[in-house]
């Protein structure tokens, strides 16, 4: 078992340069309200330094998303922090009230998940949406904002920006929408960006553009990033340090360069082995469960957007509930002996 506290201080030496961390997570544990002993996050400690990109990897269910949500104090109902704290500079996020948290979310700590398109307003073109964000940050005319929106699209690599600025979200590809949303999040100049599988599902070229955009901002402006990814190659290319999570714990924390040459934990070694595996054989399928399980369950969903006149709103989804079931559950597995190192 590695000593995480030792690893935290060892991994900081060349990064911190005497600077205080932007975000500091100390002995953070999260569990279900009903059972305080079943930890979902278990004693997590991690510091994020100015301009640093820390990558988090780990298997499904390791607690990566719950960690990101805890950093915004935005846990799903039924879960709560059982111990520890999170500090943003000198403010303890875990003890702020909802109003104070709202002034932090999106402005000081931005979160980008997998489906960025869902964050865009479907009934307004993207130019109008970018203008709105720009004008909420600086006093500029509509005309100036529109010109800035076009140059903004150019800068994030969207070709034919003059035409695209008038496009509605449904007219954008997933990659374009993801870049627009990330760039819009960056207009607020947050000090921390939480990117949770932000490039999952994008094709490789677009994923690289999105990641380049994030990395460029981290290097050139005052942005620190927690980059959650399934792919160790992403971490290797973009991050300064890597944190490996398993069962709600950080089991290894190291500088990426050190990790790539030698992994301290058995799980870290396992992940590296998988990452360097060239080809996998056809997956085998095992039927493991025949009971009905919910694929999707939606309860009393309401989604509103601001209307055209001040104070009005469009109710796009009004109290929708449904449940979709699948009769069987299948487990896809690749036998370890079928994987061949490169
Ligand atoms: N609302 C909830 N109530 C109870 N448990 C939850 C809730 N949301 C998530 N969990 C549990 O918390 C654990 C961590 O989930 P989380 O979504 O953080 O995993 P993850 O590492 O992000 O996985 P993935 O790689 O699939 O995104 C899982 O065991 C999950 O079942
Ligand atoms: Mg997740």
Take atom 2 of ligand 1 and give the residue whose Cα is closest: 76
Taking the CA of residue 32 as reference, the ligand 1 atom at the shortest distance is 4
Centroid of ligand 1 to alpha carbon of 308 (angstroms)? 38
Could you say which ligand is closest to the alpha carbon of residue 61? 1
CA dihedral 33→39→43→48, nearest 10 degrees, is -80
* For residue 323, pLDDT beyond 50: yes
Average pLDDT, the chain: 82
Centroid of ligand 1 to alpha carbon of 77 (angstroms)? 12
pLDDT in tens, 201-239: 777 887 888 888 889 889 888 899 999 998 898 999 999
Candidate of 35, 63, 226, 227 to mutate for ligand 1, largest count of ligand atoms within 8 Å of Cβ: 63
Domain positions in the chain = 1-108+190-276, 116-188
Candidate of 28, 40, 115 to mutate for ligand 1, largest count of ligand atoms within 8 Å of Cβ: 40
pLDDT in tens, 21-73: 999 999 999 999 887 678 999 999 999 999 999 999 999 999 999 999 999 99
Give dist(CA 289, CA 262) in Å, integer: 39
pLDDT at position 289: 52
pLDDT in tens, 90-119: 999 989 999 999 889 888 999 988 877 788
Centroid of ligand 1 to alpha carbon of 63 (angstroms)? 5
Ligand 1 pocket check for 268: Cβ under 6 Å: no
Instruction: Please state the separation of Cα 322 from the chain's center in Å.
Output: 27
Ligand 1 pocket check for 283: Cβ under 6 Å: no
Domain 1-108+190-276 has CATH 3.30.70.1380: no
* For residue 74, pLDDT beyond 50: yes
Centroid of ligand 1 to alpha carbon of 89 (angstroms)? 27
Centroid of ligand 2 to alpha carbon of 250 (angstroms)? 15
Give dist(CA 28, CA 43) in Å, integer: 5
* For residue 337, pLDDT beyond 70: no
Most confident of the following: 109-123, 152-166, 254-268, 305-319 = 254-268
Take atom 18 of ligand 1 and give the residue whose Cα is closest: 63
pLDDT band at 11 (very low <50, low <70, confident <90, very high): very low
Give dist(CA 169, CA 79) in Å, integer: 33
- Joined together, the tokens standing for residue 13 give 């030496």
* For residue 322, pLDDT beyond 90: no
3-state secondary structure the chain: CCCHHHHHHHHHHHHHCCCCCCEEEEEEEEEECCCCCCCCEEEEEEEECCCCEEEEEECCCCCHHHHHHHHCCCCCCCEEEEEEEEEECCEEHHHCCHHHHHHHECCCEEEECCCHHHHCCCCCCHHHHHHHHHHHHCCCCHHHHHHHHHHHHHHCCCCCHHHHCCCCHHHCCHHHHHHHHHHHHHHCCCCEEEEECCCCCCCHHHHHHHHHHHHHHHHHCCCEEEEECCCHHHHHHHCCEEEEEECCEEEEEEEHHHHHHCCCCHHHHHHHHHHCECCCCCCEEEEEECCCEEEEEEEEEEEEEECCCCCCEEEEEEEEEEEEEECCEEEEECCHHHCCEC
Take atom 31 of ligand 1 and give the residue whose Cα is closest: 61
* For residue 336, pLDDT beyond 50: no
pLDDT at position 82: 93
Centroid of ligand 2 to alpha carbon of 40 (angstroms)? 13
List beta partners, residue 297: 323
Give dist(CA 78, CA 312) in Å, integer: 33
């Amino acid at each position: 078992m590695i000593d995480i506290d030792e690893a935290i201080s060892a991994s900081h030496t060349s990064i911190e340069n005497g600077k205080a961390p932007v975000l500091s997570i100390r002995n953070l544990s999260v569990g279900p309200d009903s059972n305080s002993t079943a930890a979902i996050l278990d004693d997590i400690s991690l510091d994020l330094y100015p301009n640093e990109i820390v990558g988090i990897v780990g298997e499904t269910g390791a607690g990566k998303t719950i960690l990101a949500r805890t950093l915004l104090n935005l846990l799903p109902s039924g879960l709560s922090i059982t111990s520890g704290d999170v500090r943003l500079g000198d403010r303890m996020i875990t003890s702020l009230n909802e109003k104070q948290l709202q002034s932090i979310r999106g402005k000081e700590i931005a979160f980008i998940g997998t489906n960025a398109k869902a964050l865009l307003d479907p009934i307004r073109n993207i130019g109008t949406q970018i203008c709105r964000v720009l004008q909420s940050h600086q006093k500029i005319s509509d005309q100036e904002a529109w010109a800035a929106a076009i140059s903004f699209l150019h800068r994030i690599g969207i070709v034919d920006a003059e035409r695209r600025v008038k496009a509605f979200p449904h007219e954008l590809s997933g990659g374009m929408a993801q870049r627009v949303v990330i760039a819009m999040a960056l207009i607020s100049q947050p000090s921390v960006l939480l990117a949770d599988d932000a490039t999952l599902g994008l094709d490789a070229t677009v994923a690289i553009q999105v990641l380049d955009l994030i990395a460029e901002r981290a290097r050139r402006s005052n942005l620190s990033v927690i980059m959650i990814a399934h792919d160790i190659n992403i971490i290797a290319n973009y991050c300064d340090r890597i944190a490996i999570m398993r069962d709600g714990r950080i089991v290894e924390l190291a500088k990426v360069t050190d990790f790539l040459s030698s992994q301290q934990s058995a799980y870290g070694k396992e992940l590296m082995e998988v990452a360097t595996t060239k080809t996998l054989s056809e997956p085998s399928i095992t039927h493991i469960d025949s009971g009905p399980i919910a694929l999707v369950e939606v309860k009393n969903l309401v989604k509103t957007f601001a209307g055209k006149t001040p104070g009005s709103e469009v109710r796009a989804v009004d109290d929708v509930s449904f449940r979709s079931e699948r009769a069987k559950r299948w487990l896809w597995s690749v036998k370890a002996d079928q994987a061949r190192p490169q």
